[in-house]
Chain A
Amino acid sequence: MRIKLQKSLAPNLVSQTLIPIVAILASLFFCAIFFVLTGRDPVEVYSAMFLGALGSEYGISETFVKMIPLALCGLGIAVAFRMHLWNIGAEGQFYMGACAATWIPLSFPNLPFMLMIPTMIIMGALGGGLWGLLAGWFKTKWQVDEIISTLMMNYIGILWVDFLVYGAWRDPNGKNFPLTAAFPQSAMLPTFGSLRVHYGIFFVLLIAAVLWIIFKKSKWGYETLVIGSNPVAARYAGINIKSNVLLTMFISGALCGIAGMVEVSVVVGKLQPGISPGYGYTAIIVAWLARLHPIAIIGVAFLFAIIHVGGFMLQTMGMPSATATMLQGAMLFFVVGSEILTKYEIKFTSSKEGEKNE
């Protein structure tokens, strides 16, 4: 008897959902070994994270607060990744969206709520969208690798926000802190009662539903999928790749920009440095783990929000909150590594037959 991996012809739904779950459990186990080696009790670490995120009303609310930007950026990233357009500039698009949206309450503080919020959303989408579009334009015009350009533009976008809040946009009454003036009430999305969790969650649900329909039903959704999996076939089918790259980068960036708008509008209530603790990067993992499926992204974003909020709890144990980043990176390793298993099935063959097949 020997065990042999054989290519399976049709993807198997059970293995496609089961294998990622096993991979995530395996990554938790891997990190547990690492915690033991560095002198920590993994049970204590994980239970602190779990209770921190889900053990209280405050924790649950915080978990939803973190889920919202992760899901919005993850959805934006999924739009681009589906056509193998590696937009890893969500972080920069988030900052540019936040920055563009901030311009509205700073310049027109007296707008009523019903006018303020929609213009801020549009500005957020434009800020992030144009930032993404620029990278798309570099790609279509000069074949600049979008991985490099979007990544470089992350740093530029973050520094641009620093430049504004340390300079022209600094609140004159802010005791010299690098912050803009606090937004008027009319520029803030409502929250649920006294909790911090806010109406941004409706954005997540709405955008995920729309994308799900687009991906599944629309011609454009299908075209982008074809471009991603087989650009040659796409070209023969007469699909305009250039305009699709531009459109996709704009939409992808716009969704990340809306995430930035939501964050400054309600969670922070002003523009300041460090509005994102790396949501744009974590969202890449979220999108990939969810296999770019819009509804699954919401679920994975919630899981990662638990890890994120739990990560803050670890600081009380003297561990850096970046421990959460490490866990998330490890999860991606295991899921990426296990992907081959979904393409294969395990066959038990007699040893003679096994050798013949090689």
Chain B
Amino acid sequence: MNETLLISILAASITAGTPILFAALGELITERAGITNLGVDGMMLVGAATGFMASVTFHSPWLGVGVALFAGALMALIHAYLTITLRANQVVSGLALALFGSGLSSYLGKAYVGMRPEQTFEKLPIPFLSKIPIIGPVLFKQDALVYLSYALVLLAAFYLYKTRAGLFLRALGENPAALDAVGINVFGLRYIYVVIGGALAGLGGAYLSLAYAPCWLENMTAGRGWIAVALVIFALWDPWRALAGSYLFGGIDALGFHLQVLGIPVSIFILNMLPYIFTILVLILVLIKRGGRLAAPQSLGVPYDREER
């Protein structure tokens, strides 16, 4: 394999991994706060559809990103209300969100199927950095949203491990009763993090429709939201591992595409199966390595109920 091809596959891995990375970061924050939100795919779809619509209507991809963030946050707010205030079953509420999002995005986006946006996120090579051999063209010849995703991973890791608020966030998923006892508003904080998680899923969707594709298609996530949910588990709720995992998935996507370009005779259907097979395999490997224990946040999925304290 020559160097140009290698660079092009690696760069494509990052681009393909970015939507998953945004969504996985969002889910990671949500789950750290003790709430499972299985509706990631639905929130991504709504983000992708509304972001695309806004971008086409107002000729501004950045406005599209803003709308997608807002739409994802609104979707997550439904889940927050159901699971935090009404203490509904988080699995079922998340599934409802996934289905609702798939239907809603198709309903909203119908008139926009097949349109090409005038402006999309173009590659913006960073001066100097992009000249570094191999790393430069792979990491620093990307679009603005990819750079934003680097910053978000850094920010998330710093916030989670180095700040007082991050400590509270971790405690929210481990032992909410202890936080409540020191006078912290458990319900309010959980709302905030679930909504942030939804906004990031919306952003992941917008990356698909505004930068990666760029177009709107019904159910265009092809299950990426679900892969993001799985990714959070085998990233062991750590932002850096989530970053590595996302690019691994991006890599499988990109590799499949490049194999076809090289004329290697593999069925497209088998290639398309790879990310899903890979998800299960990696999950099994991590579980074997960890002896079946994943150190998930202790209170993950358990509604906080003061009466049962």
Could you list which residues of chain A lie within 8 angstroms of chain B, going by C-beta atoms? 7, 38, 86, 88, 138, 142-145, 147-149, 151-153, 155-156, 159-160, 162-163, 166-167, 281-282, 284-285, 288, 319-320, 322-330, 332-333, 336-337, 339-340
Contact = CB atoms under 8 A, between A and B. Distances in A.
Interface string B237-268: 00000000000000000000000000000010
Contacts of B288: 142
Contacts of B273: 155-156, 159-160
B307 A324 contact: no
11 contacts: A144-B280, A145-B233, A288-B92, A325-B100, A326-B100, A326-B104, A332-B92, A332-B96, A333-B96, A336-B96, A337-B86
Contact of B279 (A152, A322, A340): A152
B96 A7 contact: no
Contact of A148 (B97, B102, B277, B279): B279
Contact of A152 (B110, B226, B269, B287): B226
B88 A86 contact: no
Contacts of A156: 273, 276-277
Given A152-B226, A152-B276, A330-B100, 9 more contacts: A148-B229, A152-B280, A155-B223, A166-B267, A325-B102, A325-B106, A332-B99, A337-B86, A339-B86
Contacts of B279: 148, 152
B174 interface: no
Q: Determine chain A's interface SS by DSSP, over half rule.
A: helix
Range of interface residues on B (Cβ < 8 Å): 35 or more
Contacts, number: 140
Given A138-B280, A148-B280, A336-B93, A328 B103 contact: yes
Interface string B86-130: 111101110111111111101110100000000000000000000
The interface centre, meaning the residue of A143, A282, A327 with most chain B CB atoms within 10 A of its CB, is A143
A271 B96 CA distance: 30
Interface of B: 38, 42, 78, 81-82, 86-89, 91-93, 95-104, 106-108, 110, 218, 222-223, 226-227, 229-230, 233, 267, 269-270, 272-273, 276-277, 279-280, 283-284, 287-288, 292, 307
A75 B277 CA distance: 27
Contacts of A142: 284, 287-288, 292
Contacts of B99: 281-282, 284-285, 325, 328-329, 332
Nearest to B101: A329
The interface centre, meaning the residue of A152, A156, A163, A167 with most chain B CB atoms within 10 A of its CB, is A152
A149 B102 CA distance: 20
B283 A333 contact: no
A211 to B, nearest CB: 20
A163 B82 contact: no
B206 to A, nearest CB: 20
A284 B95 contact: yes
Nearest to B227: A152
Given A144-B283, A340-B87, A340-B88, A159 B269 contact: yes
A315 B128 CA distance: 54
A155 B101 CA distance: 18
A149 B229 CA distance: 11
Contacts of A330: 100
A259 B110 CA distance: 30
Contacts of B283: 144-145, 148-149
B107 A322 contact: yes
B270 to A, nearest CB: 6
A212 B22 CA distance: 45
A187 to B, nearest CB: 25
Given A322-B106, A322-B107, A323-B107, A152 B277 contact: yes
A288 B99 CA distance: 14
B270 A163 contact: yes
A284 B280 CA distance: 22
Contact of A162 (B38, B86, B91, B269): B269
